[in-house]
Chains A and B, each alone.
Chain A
Amino acid sequence: MKPSPRSHLYRLLLVLAVAGAGFVGLRQLAIPDSWNKEHWYRGDALDELAAQPSRFGGNVSCEGSSCHEPPANHKVNYDALSQGLHAGVACESCHGPLARHAADGEKLDHARLNVANALCFGCHQELVARPETFPQFSETLLYHELLNVRETSPCRACHNPHEPA
């Protein structure tokens, strides 16, 4: 008995149909359940991304706590900073992020730092690109000339970082 002249095509189509169906099934299983079809993203990603822990607490997190009784002088420094010229400066930009310092009322590490001139110059070194209204170190400023202050003279001898002026 001769096969139909089209039988090989039917076989081919059968193979393709089976492969296609298998693929469609696989695809249905593989698409994440939370997939947002309108905006095309995995919905669960939002909460996953939001779960990333914060390392910086902001100044409000340094305001004071039972951890910082004397001799840390913490509250004193915080109040002085908030009222002075450095009010806009983040404690953590010099002292490091909260997450490195404390956890659950327990101290992880010191938040003290090395107050060498480099710390002050990071902002106050004279650079031509800095706004002219921003205070930049110069040996020719009145008090610096009077007191013979050089670049190498310790800033802290006269300037308290929490109350700079």
Chain B
Amino acid sequence: MKQPETNGRRVFLSKLLGGGVAAAGALMALRTPALARVLEDKDEGFDPGEREYVFVVDVQKCIGCGNCVRACGIENNVPEGQFRTWVERYVVTHEGVHVDSPNGGMNGFEAIDPALREQAINAFFVPKLCNHCAEAPCVQVCPVGATFTSPEGFVLVDPEHCIGCGYCIQACPYGVRFLNKERRVADKCTWCYHRIRRGQQPACVTVCPTGSRSFGNVRDENDPVTQVLKDDQWDVLKPGMHTQCQVLYVGLPRVVV
């Protein structure tokens, strides 16, 4: 097919340049003190056994600004029209539910139709991302072991081993997976595994202005996420699927799927 090949070469070259610059930049930035503190490789002593991660989404705090969607796209080179994370807007009325996610919420949201607003009983934003299920159906159905659960609970995709069959995409109940149209392998939110390994937070958490998104280690008593577990007021999406989601939603309204 002609089209993808020329696009592919152009994309590859621009990535080579951009990635090379970014990689060189990141590496060289290690020399400045403040940056070094942030970007130094904290991998020495990364013991998966001491870590068990959860991601917390506080629905009542999300303002639908779209910072997270944009940052994720930049951090992870997500192709246009595909989403490792997105934000939905729900408007609940007596007649039914109006849900929308224009371009995944990447450019924020426009005001809704005044007629719809008239009927709104309740309205809110809901961020969505991979739930890194402890019993992930996507891992179960991968025929070659390209998608797997890492020792500390991240559900990841090995882009060198994936054959691109798409079974994992079908099996995910939450619609978080897609076939990356540039890399031609299965792709999804990784909770920014590469950043966690360096002691950083996921990109979406870093740029969230209201603290709606947070991430932490439940084995660390000082981590704020442990309070969420103690309060026990969290929910997961589609609990009937029994996939043991590790993304905990606080203040999740009933109508959210």
Q: Which A positions have Cβ atoms within 8 angstroms of B?
A: 32, 39-42, 45-46, 48-58, 60-67, 86, 88-90, 92-93, 97-100, 102-106, 108, 122-123, 125-131, 134
Nearest CB on B from A123, distance (A): 5
Please tell me which one of the listed residues B31, B38, B149 contacts residue A104 in the complex, with CB atoms under 8 A apart: B31
Which residue of A is nearest B28, CB measured?
Answer: A104
Which residues of B lie under 8 Å from residue A66 when comparing CB positions?
A: 32
The stretch from B120-128, B130-138, B169-177 touching chain A is B120-128
Please tell me if B156 contacts chain A, counting CB pairs below 8 Å.
yes
When the two chains form their complex, are residues B29 and A102 in contact, meaning their CB atoms are under 8 A apart?
yes
- The A contact surface, by secondary structure, is loop
7 nearest A-B residue pairs (beta carbon): A104-B28, A103-B25, A41-B148, A45-B158, A129-B123, A52-B194, A40-B145
CA distance A102 to B26 in the complex (A): 8
Please tell me if B63 contacts chain A, counting CB pairs below 8 Å.
yes
When the two chains form their complex, are residues B209 and A93 in contact, meaning their CB atoms are under 8 A apart?
yes
Which residues of A lie under 8 Å from residue B193 when comparing CB positions?
A: 49-50
CA distance A97 to B25 in the complex (A): 12
CA distance A58 to B203 in the complex (A): 8
When the two chains form their complex, are residues A103 and B124 in contact, meaning their CB atoms are under 8 A apart?
no
When the two chains form their complex, are residues A55 and B67 in contact, meaning their CB atoms are under 8 A apart?
no
Which residues of B lie under 8 Å from residue A67 when comparing CB positions?
A: 32
Please tell me if B237 contacts chain A, counting CB pairs below 8 Å.
no
Which residues of A lie under 8 Å from residue B21 when comparing CB positions?
A: 99, 103, 108
Please tell me if B180 contacts chain A, counting CB pairs below 8 Å.
no
Which residues of B lie under 8 Å from residue A123 when comparing CB positions?
A: 63, 65, 209
Nearest CB on A from B65, distance (A): 5
